[in-house]
Structure 1
Amino acid sequence: MARTYPAHAKPLWRRVLLTREMAVIALLVVVILYSLRNVPNFGNPLTLPYLLLDTAPILLIALPMTLVIVTGEIDLSVASVVGLSSVTLGVLTNAGFSVPVAALVSLAVGVVCGLFNGFLVAYVGLPSLAVTIGTLALYRGIAVGLLGTKAVTDFPDRWTHLATARIGGTQLPVIVVPIVVLAAVFIVLLHFTPFGRGVFDIGLSADTAHFSGVPVARTKLVLFVLSSTVSAFAGIFFTLRYGSSRGDNATGMELQVVAAVLLGGVSIFGGRGALHGVLAGVLLIGVISSALRLESVTVNVINIIIGALLVLSVISTSVLGWFVRRRQRPTRTTTSPAAGQPSPA
């Protein structure tokens, strides 16, 4: 029986290569090659480990954020969860608890934050934008309230060294290992399981997904829990990497995560996205930022460039979608009164 789905209307190579995700990957390669040739010190052996260390929290948080946005929702509280887990780790360590115990409690705090967000969105039915803006302020306020203007910096050296350690004799930081493991888990979850198909169905139409048997509320709850839990893990890494627990850690990171996810090809309206594009989007922003810093460009200018790139990526998606729809629109026909035959309108 012939396949009639639009996804199979084109050759495999076109479906694989002519996608927005592959365009982002190609752009990433071009930017890396250009930076290696034209940016002083970009080819320095220390550039790669610091680039990965800087982008590691965003890479981690972008994984579950992708699934959340594919459903048509959003979680803007992730950076505040990073700060709250950082403060939890610092307070408990300062009180005499070991780092592993404090880290487990920090992860549990992330789970609780995710359950609260997910319950309000999935079961109470509140808009995720409004809920997570509120919890962004709530979690950040709790974090700042616990420590005030103080910072906890007395962490055991073996744990702070582990956060920046390299794998064997390579230049790859140890944090790459959990990133690769989590990326593999989320790729399989989103693209190769019934749960992932349900995520896409919810993004296309929550009502249709519900009547098709997809547990919409439970799926959203799980995704918000995953988002906050991974954010808490990113907060633990962030704290140990810089050796400082503060209530304002990672302020503004949620915007970088959302920018990377949308740049990677995920539709803000839900129903579309792929994790390999998101990973490329995060690395693209990281490479551009790193290269510009090496050129002594200020942070404000870097933010302007990244913001312009994001706006252009969103506009290009809309323009390309409109162009494709125009090309695929069937030609209208009219019936000739004399001959009774259709003729082009």
Structure 2
Amino acid sequence: MTPAALAKPGKSLLRTRELGIVLALALLIIYTTANNHRFLSGQSIRDNLLNTAILAVMAAGEAVVVITRNIDLSVGSVLGVSAWATATMVSDHQGLPMIVPIAVGLLVGALCGLINGILVRYGRVPALVVTLGTLYMYRGITYSWAGGRQVNADKLPQHFLGFANASVLGVPWLVLIAVVVVGGISVLMRNYRAGRELYAMGSSPQAAELAGIKVARNLLGAFILSGALAGLAGVLFAARFGTVDASAGTSYELNVVAAVVVGGVAVFGGSGTVWGAGLGALLLTVIGSALAVLEINQFWQQAIVGFLIILAICADRLVAVRIARSLRRRDAHV
């Protein structure tokens, strides 16, 4: 039996899960629209896409880290420090072109990601512990820097605020950025050696090292990418909402991890797609919007997300069991 054949059960179930997300989205939209036709209004669709864009950008970076059998819980705090850094910068220097805050946000996020990666790889500390610590550390830095202050929309330049509402052929810039990020990283993970090495690391870190894969470099790259995209999300957050304080991005990491897991990226590493994480982000956003339209208590959103996470983990275990059975059958025929 070939390696491709062994991977077939897992890939088949993964495609089924992504199709399941699409079907769940369709059913949710149909049911909500039947109860309130305004759910499919142009403004409602636009709001859902704009809110999904920020979450999807973060989920793309998180998915890469989770594929390597790690996790980054600091992304919400990285968004916060990036949003505050860029908002204060453009409020003090009104003439800066949009490319400058975007570059600064990416740089701030990449630096935070580098710190995470160094601590995980060279400190030999589990990523869960490291990024839980940096979650509080980065948030503390933001609170100290802000000192109780707040940047309001009237202090930000119009071209910065207008970026969130600007569009190309009717598609908002934020949505285009999210599609480019998710699509670009998906292509990288599927078609290039760097992506295949990250999957190999997640499947078996020890085997990856024995195979000559530069685990340290790739791990640092994964965390830097996750941090940089969280930093980019911070810029998009500031442009989208206009008002920024030290609490920006609080608890976002929970939604990001949920989007990744619900989207089919295995928490045990080595499988899943970035596109799936993007679909997970869209599903979670639409669930929140639908519950509000249906006037259902927002508590149920948390309960539903929790149920979806448990369901996704059970599916991961099903994949693992099916692959293990395939391996045993192959060995029996050798």
Task: State TM-score, norm by structure 1.
Answer: 0.86
**What percent identity do the matched residue pairs reach?**
35
How far the C-alpha of 1:235 sits from its partner, in A, is 0.3
Among candidates 15, 25, 29, match of residue 26 of structure 2: 29
- How far apart in 2 are the matches of 1:237 and 1:34? 31
Unaligned runs of 5+ in 1: 334-345
Aligned to 2:164: 163
What is the DSSP-based 3-state SS (H/G/I as helix, E as strand, rest coil) of the residue aligned with 2:212?
coil
Asked whether the 8 Å contact 2:81–2:246 carries over to 1, the reply is yes
Whichever of the two has the greater Rg, that structure is 1
Deviates more, 1:117-126 or 1:221-230: 117-126
Asked whether the 8 Å contact 2:81–2:139 carries over to 1, the reply is yes
Aligned to 1:285: 284
| Correspondence 1:227 to 2:226 | yes
Asked whether the 8 Å contact 2:54–2:237 carries over to 1, the reply is yes
Asked whether the 8 Å contact 1:57–1:238 carries over to 2, the reply is yes
Taking a change above 3 Å as real, the CA distance of residues 57 and 18 of structure 1, as seen in their structure-2 partners, is: closer
- Alpha-carbon displacement from aligned partner over 1:72-120 (angstroms, at most 9, x marks no partner): 0000110101000111112223433644444433322112111111111
Aligned ranges for residues 304-323 of structure 1 at < 5 Å?
A: 304-319=303-318, 321-322=320-321
Higher helix share: 2
- Alpha-carbon displacement from aligned partner over 1:43-93 (angstroms, at most 9, x marks no partner): 212111000111111100111111110100000110101000111112223
Aligned to 1:4: 2
Aligned to 1:91: 88
- How far apart in 1 are the matches of 2:27 and 2:327? 32
- How far apart in 1 are the matches of 2:8 and 2:164? 46
What is the DSSP-based 3-state SS (H/G/I as helix, E as strand, rest coil) of the residue aligned with 1:265?
coil
Taking a change above 3 Å as real, the CA distance of residues 103 and 323 of structure 1, as seen in their structure-2 partners, is: closer
How far the C-alpha of 1:33 sits from its partner, in A, is 2.8
Aligned ranges for residues 254-265 of structure 1 at < 5 Å?
A: 254-265=253-264
| Correspondence 1:63 to 2:60 | yes
Taking a change above 3 Å as real, the CA distance of residues 9 and 124 of structure 1, as seen in their structure-2 partners, is: closer
Aligned residues: 327
What is the DSSP-based 3-state SS (H/G/I as helix, E as strand, rest coil) of the residue aligned with 2:110?
helix
Aligned to 1:127: 126
- How far apart in 1 are the matches of 2:12 and 2:268? 22
- How far apart in 2 are the matches of 1:9 and 1:79? 34
Taking a change above 3 Å as real, the CA distance of residues 18 and 274 of structure 1, as seen in their structure-2 partners, is: closer
Taking a change above 3 Å as real, the CA distance of residues 326 and 125 of structure 1, as seen in their structure-2 partners, is: closer
Cα RMSD, aligned residues only: 2.6
What is the DSSP-based 3-state SS (H/G/I as helix, E as strand, rest coil) of the residue aligned with 2:40?
coil
What is the DSSP-based 3-state SS (H/G/I as helix, E as strand, rest coil) of the residue aligned with 2:173?
coil
- Alpha-carbon displacement from aligned partner over 1:219-273 (angstroms, at most 9, x marks no partner): 0101111111111110011011111121100100000010010001111010111
- How far apart in 2 are the matches of 1:273 and 1:10? 13
Asked whether the 8 Å contact 1:89–1:99 carries over to 2, the reply is no
Taking a change above 3 Å as real, the CA distance of residues 198 and 298 of structure 1, as seen in their structure-2 partners, is: same
- How far apart in 2 are the matches of 1:196 and 1:316? 23
- Alpha-carbon displacement from aligned partner over 1:135-168 (angstroms, at most 9, x marks no partner): 1001100111111222111101222122122333
Taking a change above 3 Å as real, the CA distance of residues 273 and 27 of structure 1, as seen in their structure-2 partners, is: same
Taking a change above 3 Å as real, the CA distance of residues 324 and 49 of structure 1, as seen in their structure-2 partners, is: same
- How far apart in 2 are the matches of 1:327 and 1:212? 23
Asked whether the 8 Å contact 1:89–1:245 carries over to 2, the reply is no
What is the DSSP-based 3-state SS (H/G/I as helix, E as strand, rest coil) of the residue aligned with 2:125?
coil
Asked whether the 8 Å contact 1:64–1:223 carries over to 2, the reply is yes
- How far apart in 1 are the matches of 2:13 and 2:142? 44
Asked whether the 8 Å contact 1:39–1:291 carries over to 2, the reply is no
Unaligned runs of 5+ in 2: none
Task: State TM-score, norm by structure 2.
Answer: 0.89
What is the DSSP-based 3-state SS (H/G/I as helix, E as strand, rest coil) of the residue aligned with 1:175?
helix
- Alpha-carbon displacement from aligned partner over 1:1-25 (angstroms, at most 9, x marks no partner): xx623537869xx948853222222
| Correspondence 1:215 to 2:228 | no
Aligned to 1:240: 239
Taking a change above 3 Å as real, the CA distance of residues 74 and 9 of structure 1, as seen in their structure-2 partners, is: closer
How far the C-alpha of 1:297 sits from its partner, in A, is 2.2
What is the DSSP-based 3-state SS (H/G/I as helix, E as strand, rest coil) of the residue aligned with 2:49?
helix
How far the C-alpha of 1:289 sits from its partner, in A, is 1.2
